[in-house]
A and B are shown apart, each in its own frame.
Chain A
């Protein structure tokens, strides 16, 4: 149900531009439903996931 992909921002620039990557790491969830910048604690990531899946 969950897939986590590390994406080389330099190699896949089109995708990086699509998601406005300006700082790394940036975690883009479900093709832009949410963007989390920085290496955030697990609880922050969970809160973000809860927010977008609650819609």
Chain B
């Protein structure tokens, strides 16, 4: 199969990933039916994961692995969880992608991986204090288009 990332892009990502300190684990959820972009999204992520030994990935199916999907609050395919990995421990920071991360979203994917690897949200103290005090879950859905 032809690669989705050309050598130039791969090199750019390699450079962007070079300072990564901590490990990142990606959970990919596909679906066998009615998922136009699942195969491409999975291939794209596999190519990204290959670039750095700091990144690992497990592949799931939204239907066959419904329990895991529910556990991680994933209800769309392709669904992507970008989590932290320390030893065998996966820590979920709540970072998700729904849909294929192409175009501008591809940059966001790479930045999210680097952000999770840094283990720092870069949020202000004000925001952190507010979020720490939350008693009810908050879901932020950021609608984006590839262009």
Complex contacts, B91 vs chain A, CB 8 Å: none
Q: Which of A3, A26, A31, A46 has the most CB of B within 10 A?
A: A3
Complex contacts, B96 vs chain A, CB 8 Å: 3-6
CB contact under 8 A between A24 and B127, given known A4-B94, A5-B139, A6-B96: no
Contact B144 A9 (CB under 8 A): yes
A28–B140 Cα gap in the complex (Å)? 6
Complex contacts, B136 vs chain A, CB 8 Å: 1, 53
Contact B123 A16 (CB under 8 A): no
Contact B145 A24 (CB under 8 A): yes
Residue of A nearest to B37 (CB): A11
Contact B127 A7 (CB under 8 A): no
Where chain B touches its partner, the secondary structure class is mixed
> Number of contacts between A and B (CB, 8 Å)?
112
Residue of B nearest to A46 (CB): B127
Q: A11-B99, A49-B130 are in contact. List 12 more A-B contacts (CB 8 A).
A: A2-B140, A5-B140, A5-B141, A7-B98, A7-B144, A9-B145, A24-B144, A26-B142, A27-B143, A28-B141, A29-B141, A46-B126
Complex contacts, A53 vs chain B, CB 8 Å: 134, 136, 138
Interface size for A (C-beta < 8 A) is 30
Complex contacts, A9 vs chain B, CB 8 Å: 143-145
Interface size for B (C-beta < 8 A) is 32
Chain B residues in contact with chain A, CB under 8 A?
A: 36-37, 73, 76, 94-101, 105, 108, 123-124, 126-127, 130-131, 134, 136-146
Contact B143 A25 (CB under 8 A): yes
- Would you give the 0/1 interface string for A12-55, flagging 1 where the beta carbon is closer than 8 Å to chain B? 10011001010011111111000000000011001001100100
Chain A residues in contact with chain B, CB under 8 A?
A: 1-12, 15-16, 19, 21, 24-31, 42-43, 46, 49-50, 53
CB contact under 8 A between A5 and B142, given known A42-B123, A46-B130: yes
